[in-house]
């Protein structure tokens, strides 16, 4: 169980990998994912490392696969994800893979260029077809006798003959539709109105072969006279990127050409279809295996990348790697190494050799799917120091609990728990779906936290007796109105009083009105009492202070285990003990007073009950002459004065005494070291130690024993002390957010009920059910949006803050660095590392 409360024990190990077995061994280590390799050649440039060539080849393969993937995605073929985990291919299979990908890429590129050329051809033919069809219309119109007659009216008869005799030249072509107006204007200006332009739109859009976009185009035909104009017109057409097509002059030739073009289009269409089919087939075949290929290539790349971190032995026979590994998993690492050696067929086993080091190991907290969410909450604040108390196991309980204190409502808790339960039950299916929705994946990662929060909210909701802001009267309220009318037991209500007053006060002093507390939670009668808020505020405020002080005391006591574990007795005597005394003699006493007042005062004495707040303030002022605030018990003055003095005495203990003791210890040690100096030199470092020192120098973060600086230490201690003492006060106040947020939640849900649900329920006609059904819909939407999501998020944030600031700063340093093992998991999930 020790592993749960602290991070794993780590050790630095040297791995001697036979060069022929190294690849397989590293791949096996990647599969188990328990080893973090250290870079042994930090001063060697990336390009000078041994396996650069292989890494580069893998990158090239990766590039080809990405190209294929892009092509697959373009035609919307789904990539098959069977979830299988392919083994790492042997290095000798790399050539095969390379050849496969090379072939695939070349084939695809060839298909693409062919397809492009065919499409271009096809486009030209279609355009030609349209030109022929349209120009036919123009020529038909020209020869239309009715039009001819119309023009003959305007012209002199002999001029008609001249016009008919004159041969007009023409060019026909296709131009983008948006260019037409400019084109027309330019033609007019340049040719001074001496050309005649006819144009017609092509209805269906054409596909641009290079970009694949749909473009709208128009057919035009320009009539002109003379060669000079012809040249000009052609230049303009060129400038506007219009494509010109030869158009025969006689109708007969045109007809033949149309027929020819149609036949060619049909042929081309067939060829195009076949090319497309072929492309689809190639891509579909690729889509089936591309995921496996990706994983294989990326695994290989990761392995070579890791091998680059290793040191090469002088004999070139073996690679030396250094890695952090958890002590508890050394066996499985050994086993993986053996498997790797067997697989590679090597006869010499790989050796794992644990080393001693002074470096701080990385922090590795083993988690499962339930605890990982809570560990993430802790890690978001700071990765714990190596072997420090891990707050995560306590967070599993305290986090949902503090959340629920702010979110107490049975109805909302049930909804939240059911939602999270859905995610938990279907987690396999949802995990397989791999949605990219960031909001959803965040919710999904925290599904167990949400489930716990929901369940705890049901519990606190039962305590607050709130279900969608209504109380549940399960056991029957213990307040009764009837005795108030009975004059024998002291009741003073009469019919007249009932008529004359809107508000009546139940008097618990009257026998039978109050018959003991409700079995669990708040009595439902408070739900329609007018002084409900006054009562609940007092209760919730006291509750938050009690919970807060207990939470903080718990945090302080966890620091004891840290001091015990790291063998720092001084921190216990001069740190932990004064801290506990300080906190419990001030705020622990406050809790005592709260409970004392709850227990000690009953209905008959409640008039004399002192205010705890005033008593607490007076305690600090040593003011016991206040007559309006009676003492809680006899001897209060002595006890309270003692407690205050005790608490104040703790401050100099931490502030002054501790630094002085540390200084004396340091001075004594220095003297001792000076005496022993000769002995240590004569011992001399052994060979092993020398080796380690050499390796430690390789690492970037070598740790040296810091120089002892008294002023520095004293200032640090002063800051710590002041932070703690002032923190105790401000943190206790900070826990009042539990009260504030739970009040806000209760009020908001009550407002929602009265503003929305109430209007639906309180219709006095029998047709109200339609309104009720509609109103309920809005009630449901608003409940989820405002109360569950918005309020839930705010309660979550406040619970987070209470853990990070108020709880963890009592014992958690959080300045370690995370254990990042070499594993293939990220590659499997489709996230390339780095």
* Residues β-bridged to residue 215: 206
Q: What tokens appear for 209 in the block?
A: 């072969």
Residue among 473 and 641 whose Cβ is closer to other proteins: 473
Among 262, 769, 789, 825, the residue binding other proteins under the rule CB under 8 A is 769
Among 634, 766, 831, 834, the residue binding other proteins under the rule CB under 8 A is 766
Q: Minimum distance from CB of 741 to other proteins (Å)?
A: 24
Among 475, 595, 666, 777, the residue binding other proteins under the rule CB under 8 A is 777
Window 655-694: contact mask with other proteins (x via CB under 8 A): ----------------------------------------
Q: What tokens appear for 650 in the block?
A: 């703790």
773 binds other proteins (CB under 8 A): yes
Residue among 297 and 775 whose Cβ is closer to other proteins: 775
* Segment interacting with other proteins, rule: CB under 8 A, options 51-59, 268-276, 440-448, 756-764: 756-764
Residue among 48 and 531 whose Cβ is closer to other proteins: 531
Residue among 72 and 233 whose Cβ is closer to other proteins: 72
Residue 488 per-residue DSSP state: G
* Segment interacting with other proteins, rule: CB under 8 A, options 437-445, 485-493, 672-680, 768-776: 768-776
Q: What tokens appear for 110 in the block?
A: 């060839």
Of 208, 214, 213, which is closest to residue 243 (Cα–Cα)?
208
Q: Minimum distance from CB of 419 to other proteins (Å)?
A: 9
Residue among 380 and 761 whose Cβ is closer to other proteins: 761
Of 828, 775, 769, 811, which is closest to residue 292 (Cα–Cα)?
828
CB atoms within 10 A of CB 795: 25
CA count, 13 A, side-chain hemisphere, 551:
30
Among 216, 482, 758, 818, the residue binding other proteins under the rule CB under 8 A is 758
Distance CA 661, CA 564 (A): 18
Q: What tokens appear for 447 in the block?
A: 């599904």
CA angle at 741 for the pair 740 and 742, rounded to the nearest 5°: 95
768 binds other proteins (CB under 8 A): yes
Distances (CA, A) of 585 to 570, 581, 728, 756, 805: 22, 6, 12, 49, 22
Specify whether the CB–CB gap between 247 and 135 falls below 8 A: yes
CA count, 13 A, side-chain hemisphere, 267:
8
Q: Minimum distance from CB of 279 to other proteins (Å)?
A: 21
470 binds other proteins (CB under 8 A): yes
Question: Per-residue DSSP letters for 106-160?
Answer: HHHHHHHHHHHHHHHHHHHHHHHHHHHHHHHHHHHHHH-HHHHHHHHHHS-HHHH
Q: Minimum distance from CB of 472 to other proteins (Å)?
A: 8
Q: Minimum distance from CB of 516 to other proteins (Å)?
A: 20
CB atoms within 10 A of CB 29: 28
Cα torsion through 764, 765, 770, 772, rounded to 10: 10
Residue 579: its H or E element: helix 577-583
Q: Minimum distance from CB of 773 to other proteins (Å)?
A: 4
Among 415, 522, 545, 647, the residue binding other proteins under the rule CB under 8 A is 415
Q: 318 φ, ψ to 5°?
A: -145, 160
* Segment interacting with other proteins, rule: CB under 8 A, options 208-216, 292-300, 343-351, 752-760: 752-760
430 binds other proteins (CB under 8 A): no
Task: Name 301's Cβ contacts closer than 8 Å, sequence gap at least 6.
Answer: 55, 58, 59, 62
763 binds other proteins (CB under 8 A): yes
* Segment interacting with other proteins, rule: CB under 8 A, options 469-477, 504-512, 662-670, 672-680: 469-477
Residue among 748 and 772 whose Cβ is closer to other proteins: 772
Question: Per-residue DSSP letters for 416-483?
Answer: HHHHHHHHHHTHHHHHHH----HHHHHHHHTHHHHHHHHHHHHHHHHHHT-BTTB---SS--SB-SGG
Specify whether the CB–CB gap between 614 and 690 falls below 8 A: no
Q: Minimum distance from CB of 76 to other proteins (Å)?
A: 12
Q: Minimum distance from CB of 406 to other proteins (Å)?
A: 23
Residue among 748 and 800 whose Cβ is closer to other proteins: 748
Which 699-728 residues touch other proteins, going by CB under 8 A? none
Q: What tokens appear for 332 in the block?
A: 């499985």
Residue among 401 and 468 whose Cβ is closer to other proteins: 468
* Segment interacting with other proteins, rule: CB under 8 A, options 152-160, 304-312, 401-409, 463-471: 463-471
* Segment interacting with other proteins, rule: CB under 8 A, options 111-119, 324-332, 346-354, 770-778: 770-778
Among 776, 794, 814, 817, the residue binding other proteins under the rule CB under 8 A is 776
Among 471, 562, 584, 749, the residue binding other proteins under the rule CB under 8 A is 471
- 3-state secondary structure at position 512: coil
Among 613, 617, 722, 780, the residue binding other proteins under the rule CB under 8 A is 780
Residue among 83 and 767 whose Cβ is closer to other proteins: 767
Distances (CA, A) of 528 to 525, 541, 596: 6, 21, 29
Of 212, 183, 41, which is closest to residue 699 (Cα–Cα)?
41
Specify whether the CB–CB gap between 667 and 322 falls below 8 A: no
Among 757, 787, 802, 827, the residue binding other proteins under the rule CB under 8 A is 757
Distance CA 265, CA 127 (A): 11
Among 206, 577, 772, 805, the residue binding other proteins under the rule CB under 8 A is 772
Work out the burial of residue 502: count CB atoms within 10 Å of its CB; fewer than 13 is exposed, 13-18 middle, 19 or more buried. exposed
475 binds other proteins (CB under 8 A): no
Residue among 664 and 758 whose Cβ is closer to other proteins: 758
Distance CA 400, CA 796 (A): 9
Window 505-544: contact mask with other proteins (x via CB under 8 A): -------------------x--xx----------------
Q: Minimum distance from CB of 493 to other proteins (Å)?
A: 16
Which 304-333 residues touch other proteins, going by CB under 8 A? none
- 3-state secondary structure at position 325: strand
Residue 516 φ/ψ region, left for φ over 0, alpha for ψ in the -120 to 50 degree band, beta for the rest: left
* Residues β-bridged to residue 324: 12, 36
* Segment interacting with other proteins, rule: CB under 8 A, options 117-125, 392-400, 740-748, 764-772: 764-772
Among 761, 785, 793, 813, the residue binding other proteins under the rule CB under 8 A is 761
764 binds other proteins (CB under 8 A): yes
Q: Minimum distance from CB of 301 to other proteins (Å)?
A: 34
263 binds other proteins (CB under 8 A): no
Q: Give the interface size with other proteins as a residue count (CB under 8 A).
A: 25
* Segment interacting with other proteins, rule: CB under 8 A, options 451-459, 549-557, 733-741, 760-768: 760-768
* Segment interacting with other proteins, rule: CB under 8 A, options 30-38, 701-709, 717-725, 776-784: 776-784
* Segment interacting with other proteins, rule: CB under 8 A, options 145-153, 593-601, 649-657, 757-765: 757-765
- Would you give the end-to-end CA distance of the chain in angstroms? 34
Q: Minimum distance from CB of 768 to other proteins (Å)?
A: 5
Q: Minimum distance from CB of 599 to other proteins (Å)?
A: 30
CA angle at 705 for the pair 700 and 707, rounded to the nearest 5°: 120
Specify whether the CB–CB gap between 279 and 113 falls below 8 A: no
Enumerate binding residues for other proteins (CB under 8 A).
Answer: 415, 468, 470-473, 524, 527-528, 754, 757-758, 761-764, 766, 768-770, 772-773, 776-777, 780
């Amino acid at each position: 169980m020790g592993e749960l409360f602290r991070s794993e024990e780590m050790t630095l190990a040297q791995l001697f990998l036979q060069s022929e077995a190294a690849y397989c061994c590293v791949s096996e280590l990647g599969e188990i994912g328990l080893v973090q390799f250290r870079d042994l050649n930090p001063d060697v440039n990336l390009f000078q490392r041994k396996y650069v060539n292989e890494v580069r080849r893998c990158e090239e393969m990766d590039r080809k696969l990405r190209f294929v993937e892009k092509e697959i995605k373009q035609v919307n073929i789904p990539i098959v994800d069977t979830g299988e985990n392919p083994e790492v291919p042997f290095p000798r299979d790399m050539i095969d893979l390379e050849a496969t990908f090379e072939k695939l890429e070349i084939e695809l590129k060839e298909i693409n260029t062919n397809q492009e050329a065919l499409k271009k051809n096809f486009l030209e033919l279609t355009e030609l077809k349209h030109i022929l069809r349209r120009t036919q219309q123009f020529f038909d119109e020209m020869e239309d006798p009715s039009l001819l007659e119309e023009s003959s009216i305007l012209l002199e008869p002999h001029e008609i003959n001249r016009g008919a005799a004159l041969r007009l030249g023409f060019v026909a072509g296709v131009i983008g539709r948006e260019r037409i107006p400019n084109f027309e204007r330019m033609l007019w200006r340049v040719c001074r109105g001496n050309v005649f332009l006819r144009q017609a739109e092509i209805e269906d859009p054409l596909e641009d072969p290079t970009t694949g976009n749909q473009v709208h185009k128009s057919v035009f035909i320009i009539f002109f006279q003379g060669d000079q104009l012809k040249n000009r017109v052609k230049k303009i057409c060129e400038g506007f990127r219009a494509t010109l097509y030869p158009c025969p002059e006689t109708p007969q030739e045109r007809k033949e050409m149309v027929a020819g073009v149609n036949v060619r289009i049909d042929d081309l269409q067939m060829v195009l279809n076949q090319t497309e089919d072929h492309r689809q087939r190639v891509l579909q075949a690729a889509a089936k295996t591309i995921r496996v290929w990706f994983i294989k290539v990326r695994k290989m790349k990761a392995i070579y990348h890791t091998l680059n971190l290793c040191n090469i032995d002088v004999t070139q026979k073996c690679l030396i790697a250094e890695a952090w590994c958890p002590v508890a998993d050394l066996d499985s690492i050994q086993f993986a190494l053996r498997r790797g050696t067997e697989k590679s067929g090597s006869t010499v086993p790989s050796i794992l050799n644990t080393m001693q080091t002074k470096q701080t190991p990385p922090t590795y907290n083993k988690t499962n799917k339930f605890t990982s969410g809570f560990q993430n909450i802790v890690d978001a604040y700071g990765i714990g120091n190596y072997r420090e108390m891990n707050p995560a196991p306590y967070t599993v309980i305290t986090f949902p609990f503090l959340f629920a204190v702010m979110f107490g409502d049975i109805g909302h808790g049930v909804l939240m728990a059911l939602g999270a339960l859905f995610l938990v039950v279907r987690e396999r299916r949802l995990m397989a779906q791999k949605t990219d929705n960031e909001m959803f994946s965040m919710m999904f990662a925290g599904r167990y936290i949400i489930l716990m929060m929901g369940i705890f909210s049901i519990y606190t909701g039962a305590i607050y007796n709130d279900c969608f802001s209504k109380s549940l009267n399960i056991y029957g309220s213990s307040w009764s109105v009837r005795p108030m009318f009975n004059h024998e037991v002291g009741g003073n209500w009469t019919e007249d009083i009932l008529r004359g007053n809107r508000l009546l006060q139940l008097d618990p002093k009257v026998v039978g009105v109050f018959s003991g507390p409700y079995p669990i939670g708040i009595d439902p009668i408070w739900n329609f009492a007018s002084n409900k808020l006054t009562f609940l505020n007092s209760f919730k405020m006291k509750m938050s202070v009690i919970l807060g002080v207990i939470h903080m005391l718990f945090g302080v006591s966890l620091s004891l285990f840290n001091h015990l574990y790291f063998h720092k007795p001084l921190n216990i005597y001069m740190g932990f003990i004064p801290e506990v005394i300080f906190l419990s003699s001030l705020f622990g006493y406050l809790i005592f007073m709260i409970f004392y007042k709850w227990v000690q005062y009953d209905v008959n004495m409640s008039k004399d009950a002192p205010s705890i707040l005033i008593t607490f303030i007076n305690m600090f002022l040593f003011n016991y002459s206040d007559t309006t605030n009676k003492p809680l018990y006899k001897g209060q003055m002595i006890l309270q004065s003692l407690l205050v003095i005790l608490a104040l005495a703790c401050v100099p203990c931490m502030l002054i005494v501790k630094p002085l003791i540390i200084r004396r210890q340091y001075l004594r040690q220095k003297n001792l070291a000076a005496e022993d100096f000769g002995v240590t030199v004569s011992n001399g470092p052994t060979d092993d130690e020398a080796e380690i020192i050499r390796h430690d120098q390789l690492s970037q973060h070598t740790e040296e024993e810091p120089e002892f600086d008294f002023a520095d230490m004293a200032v640090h201690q002063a800051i710590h002390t002041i932070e703690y003492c002032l923190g105790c006060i401000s943190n206790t106040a900070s826990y009042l957010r539990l009260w504030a947020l739970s009040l806000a939640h209760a009020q908001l849900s009550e407002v929602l009920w009265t503003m929305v649900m109430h209007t639906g329920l309180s219709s006095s006609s029998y047709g109200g059910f339609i309104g009720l059904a509609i109103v309920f819909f809005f009630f449901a939407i608003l409940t989820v949006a405002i109360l569950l999501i918005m309020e839930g998020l705010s309660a979550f944030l406040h619970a987070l803050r209470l853990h990070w600031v108020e709880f963890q700063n009592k014992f958690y340093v959080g300045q370690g660095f995370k254990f990042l093992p070499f594993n293939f998991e990220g590659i499997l999930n489709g996230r390339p590392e780095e």
